[in-house]
Amino acid sequence: MSELIETLNLLWAGTIKRIDFKLIKHSISLEIEVIENASVLKYEVIFEGVSAYFFQ
């Protein structure tokens, strides 16, 4: 669990550049950009097995 928390902490203050909903594949992917120490770091987070989508 601590590894997950450490990985998610890297995304703190990041900017979501792209959100991709793949309804047929039941997934959501996020492209996140983080600026740290004058370097731009890009991450992709993929949620698989998504069973519900709610928009408000």
- Domain boundaries defined on the chain: 2-48
**Looking up tokens 């601590």, which residue turns up?**
2
Question: Residue 14's closest CA among 33, 27, 1?
Answer: 33
Predicted pLDDT at 8: 87
pTM score:
0.79
Q: What is the pLDDT of residues 3-45, one digit of tens each?
A: 989 888 989 889 999 999 999 999 999 999 999 999 999 999 9
Stretch 48-52: mean pLDDT, rounded? 94
Q: What is the pLDDT of residues 1-10, one digit of tens each?
A: 889 898 889 8
